[in-house]
Amino acid sequence: MASRRSAPCLSKVILSRPKSRRPKTIMRLSDERHCLIAAEARLPPDAARQLREIGFTVMLGPAIPGGCEGLSDAYDRAVAMADPTDVHVGRTRSSTRISDFVNRGSEFDGIYTYPPLLAACRQIIGGPFKLSGMRARTLNPGALTERLDVDVKHRADGWPLVGCILMVDAFDAENGATRFVPGSHRSAQEPSDVMSNPQDAHDEQVLACGPAGSIIIFNASVWHSHGANRSDRSRRSIQAHFCRREARAAPDDHSRRMRPETLQRISDLAKYVLNV
């Protein structure tokens, strides 16, 4: 049933292609890299518990060159320079997505290699994984609440999947912070199975709020969507998904369009996560 009461805002920020036959040497190096992630990447205990129990967590994000101001400038610059074919405006024109943020600049390299995020991927996916895609999303002023949905249904093809949202702008109750239904990642049902209108508020929903630079990490089977942007400003974010290493490539897969300058600057860990 829909509820008219305001959703609580979870604003605590914790500071703390089908399988190919590759040469054994490459497979061994890949396995070693995954073991290194397992040994070095750590999640704060509270965050690990929240991912298990409620399906998402909000924490301090990776350090970005130039801080939040540098991130904001880099975001706007990348969006302005994007090829029109990479720009996708939704049917309702409430938001704009820009694909392939792996190749947009060095300012974004630290997002998909952020150690707590990699630790979350290991916890949820359980085995070797890779970045499926990374994109920007600008939620426009006046955008209505999005229907609750899942990125992948529990135990369906492509499951499990990990998502993250880096807040370029602060997320709050007025500008369309992402809403989640805690614990729904364990349900075999989708919102449309039990709600007459998934766009309505859910009795148990909470908002993932935080200052710019925060990151939401979530089990992509959890029910979620953006809220209404009742402010007079755009709300910007960078979003990414991680999947099993053997999973089929996504439509916006970055591996088919890696730029030489990107490959030259990124670390071995980044190449592993990108599966390039």
CB contact burial 139-166 (16+ within 10 A = b; e otherwise)? bbeebebbebebbbbbeeebbbbbbbbb
- pLDDT exceeding 90 applies to what percent of the chain? 74
Please tell me the predicted confidence (pLDDT) of residue 154: 80
Domains, the chain, with CATH or none: 44-274 (2.60.120.620)
Looking at the predicted structure, is the pLDDT value of residue 24 above 50?
no
The better pLDDT of the pair 11, 25 is held by 11
Q: 93 in the Ramachandran plot: left (φ > 0), alpha (ψ -120 to 50) or beta?
A: left
Q: What is the pLDDT of residues 206-244, one digit of tens each?
A: 999 999 999 999 999 999 999 999 999 999 999 999 999
Amino acid letter for position 201: A
Record the pTM: 0.88
Give pLDDT tens digits for 84-137.
999 999 778 899 999 999 999 999 999 999 999 999 999 999 999 999 999 999
Residue type, 200: D
Count Cα neighbours of 260 within 13 Å in the Cβ-side half-sphere.
0
CB atoms within 10 A of CB 175: 23
Which residues does residue 138 pair with via DSSP β-bridges, in sequence order?
A: 96, 236
| Model pLDDT for residues 170-199, shown as the tens digit of each residue | 999 999 999 999 999 999 999 999 999 999
- Secondary structure letter of residue 171 according to DSSP: B
- CB neighbour class for 35 (10 Å; exposed up to 12, middle 13-18, buried from 19): exposed
Q: Of 168, 166, 159, 134, which Cα lies nearest the Cα of 273?
A: 134
